[in-house]
């Protein structure tokens, strides 16, 4: 066998490829367990490993599974040029939420604009022995019409929130069952993550095990895993495209949105449901955050507990819920006549490489991530005029994030910054999802929601930058769209950056900057344990499909 130095260019593993090499002698030499092929021998050798792979392949063929491995010699890799692939444009065509402030995007955002707090005393379980007894708890929620009753009884709440928000997003996007049946389901996927997963299902299983394993929920293991929500939803829809979940603490939703967008940009999917869901409000969830002294103890006045950038803040407030977007390839959306809310422009991932939960003292990770995201999207810092911050109401996190935001975007005198968590609490893995929806709604309505409880701002905070206690009109949104108010729903673009203190991940993808006149806005979510930023920009193009008026709505999230 000819010797091959570093021969591997690509290694593809698929669960549903036919094991055709058994029937085709020519194909055997390229198979991981084939006779004397250079690829198979170089990768797996001639000994035990190769025989083991051969046995696996034969068993897989009998069971309907198979593995395909593509190999390429080093010289070919060096000489072969990367094909020039034009990136596809990605738009947001649907939104779905389950939150302490409502389960409809409009209801949710109207409550934010009115300064309604969703934080109250916890009623789900007895927490009288805890120093923190408040949360952004969802008081009224029904799965009727969204989840089969038999499944609903066994599922963890994070899955119920996820499936409900996902189906609401489809409904909001006009993707009825009849229309979904016309889609190529092999090009439709689900990427909705969770930071905490099925905590209650797993905790209930532990309690049942104290009596007997026979008392355990037979679905306790799959229903506790973070990917099962996406899987169940895809099974219900029959969608066979990309399907998995990402769990990166507070940045979970943004990681999922960015990766979902990239699947579409690269041509791997046409439609993606993406976002995040979490339901951590159980004794062990509350106790865990209490143990690390992260939560506010302002139990006597729950609505005043979450107070980002205020000197009197004493920790964040837990929340629960889900936020899901429908991302779609632009031409695909136009062909079906979809309402377009926004367009994805670009994004980036970075790592602080500093501390498990604390942001870098100089905000290096956040700054780097923003710079890369803006570069990817082809926009400048000066174009940013609105940031929806992560701002959880923690002592160090709020200030480091604020400093990084001002350092990056302070050149714009119109810059406005607010925090949705002052009213919803911290939805952990779902935070980025609902805040993406809030930012899109800001663009659509021309109003940015207030910062609740900012009564005694930190000295370094410029109150001229932070939104006040009342909603504020942002004329920059409306100036761009004043001549076509009926198209308000179609005028956003976005850039997203995700910076993670522990555990690095980075994605860089370029996007062609299209000629346009922009009055941009931004939304950012920077998490201490996993910070993330989304940036939205108003964009106007001469869109013929709208009679030469305002461009179709476009969103991008990362």
Q: How large is the angle between the packed helices 431-445 and 252-265, nearest 10 degrees? A: 70
Task: Find where tokens 């591997």 sit.
Answer: 8
- Is 558 catalytic? The answer is no
Q: What are phi and psi of 81, to 5 degrees?
A: -90, 145
HEC-encoded secondary structure of 189-243: EEEEECCCCCHHHHHHHHHHHCCCHHHCCCCCCHHHCCCHHHHHHHHHHCCCCCE
Rounded-to-integer distance, Cα 514 and Cα 548, Å: 16
Tokens of 193: 């993550």
Rounded-to-integer distance, Cα 202 and Cα 208, Å: 10
Burial per residue of 104-115, b for 16 or more beta-carbon CB atoms within 10 angstroms, e otherwise: bbeebbbbbbeb
Q: Which of 250, 256, 351, 369 is catalytic?
A: 250
- Is 360 catalytic? The answer is no
Rounded-to-integer distance, Cα 30 and Cα 152, Å: 47
Rounded-to-integer distance, Cα 399 and Cα 410, Å: 15
Q: Which of 426, 474, 525, 558 is catalytic?
A: 426
Residues sharing a CB contact under 8 Å with residue 150, sequence separation 6 or more, in sequence order: none
DSSP 448-508: E---TT-SSB-TT--TTTB--SS-EE-HHHHHHHTT-GGGTTS-EEEEEEEEESSS-----
Q: What are phi and psi of 141, to 5 degrees?
A: -155, 135
Q: Which of 263, 332, 390, 558 is catalytic?
A: 390
Tokens of 118: 């969703």
Residues sharing a CB contact under 8 Å with residue 247, sequence separation 6 or more, in sequence order: 193, 194, 195, 197, 226, 429
- Is 390 catalytic? The answer is yes
Distance from chain centroid for Cα 557? 8
- Residues annotated as catalytic are 250, 390, 426
């Amino acid at each position: 066998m000819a010797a091959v130095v570093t021969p591997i260019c690509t290694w593809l593993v698929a669960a549903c490829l036919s094991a055709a090499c058994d029937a085709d002698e020519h194909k055997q030499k390229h198979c991981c367990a084939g006779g004397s092929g250079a690829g198979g021998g170089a990768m797996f050798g001639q000994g035990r490993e190769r025989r083991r792979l051969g046995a696996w392949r034969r068993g897989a063929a009998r069971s309907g599974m198979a593995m395909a491995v593509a190999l390429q010699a080093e010289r070919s890799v060096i000489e072969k040029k990367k094909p020039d692939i034009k990136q596809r444009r990605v738009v947001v065509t649907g939104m779905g939420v389950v939150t302490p402030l409502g389960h409809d995007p409009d209801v949710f955002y109207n409550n934010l604009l009115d300064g309604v707090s969703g934080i109250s005393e916890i009623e789900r379980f007895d927490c009288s022995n805890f120093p923190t007894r408040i949360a952004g708890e969802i008081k009224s929620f029904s799965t009727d019409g969204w989840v089969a009753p038999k499944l609903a009884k066994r599922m963890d709440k994070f899955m119920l929130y996820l499936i409900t928000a996902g189906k609401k997003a489809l409904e909001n996007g006009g993707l009825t069952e009849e229309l979904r049946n016309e889609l190529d389901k092999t090009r439709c996927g689900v990427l909705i993550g969770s930071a905490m997963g099925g905590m209650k299902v797993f905790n209930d299983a532990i309690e049942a095990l104290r009596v007997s394993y026979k008392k355990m929920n037979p679905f306790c293991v799959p229903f506790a895993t973070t990917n099962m929500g996406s899987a169940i939803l895809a099974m219900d829809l029959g969608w066979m495209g990309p399907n998995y979940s990402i769990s990166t603490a507070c940045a979970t939703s943004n990681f999922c949105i960015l990766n979902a967008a990239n699947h579409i940009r690269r041509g791997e999917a046409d439609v993606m449901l993406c976002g995040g869901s979490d339901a951590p409000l159980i004794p062990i969830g509350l106790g865990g955050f209490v143990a690390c002294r992260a939560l506010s103890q302002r139990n006597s006045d729950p609505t005043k507990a979450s107070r980002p950038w205020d000197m009197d803040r004493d920790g964040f407030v837990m929340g629960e819920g889900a936020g899901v977007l429908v991302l779609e390839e632009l031409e695909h959306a136009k062909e079906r006549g979809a309402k377009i809310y926004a367009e994805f422009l670009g994004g980036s991932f970075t790592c602080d490489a500093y501390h498990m939960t604390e942001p870098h003292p100089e905000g290096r990770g956040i700054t780097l991530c923003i710079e890369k995201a803006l570069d990817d999207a082809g926009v400048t810092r000066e174009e940013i005029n609105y940031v929806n911050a992560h701002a959880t109401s923690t002592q160090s996190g709020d200030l480091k994030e604020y400093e990084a935001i001002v350092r990056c975007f302070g050149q714009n005198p119109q810059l406005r910054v607010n925090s949705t968590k002052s009213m919803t609490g911290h939805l952990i893995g779902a935070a980025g999802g609902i805040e993406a929806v809030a930012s899109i709604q800001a663009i659509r309505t021309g109003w940015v929601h207030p910062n609740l409880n900012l009564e005694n701002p930190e000295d370094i905070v410029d109150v001229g930058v932070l939104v006040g206690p009342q909603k504020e009109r942002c004329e920059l949104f409306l100036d761009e769209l004043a001549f076509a108010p009926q198209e308000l729903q179609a005028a956003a673009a976005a850039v997203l950056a995700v910076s993670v203190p522990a555990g690095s991940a980075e994605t860089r993808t370029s996007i062609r900057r299209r000629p346009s006149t922009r009055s941009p806005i931004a939304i950012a979510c920077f998490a201490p344990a996993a910070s993330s930023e989304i940036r939205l920009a108003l964009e106007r193009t001469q869109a013929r499909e709208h009679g030469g008026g305002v461009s179709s709505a476009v969103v991008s999230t990362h």
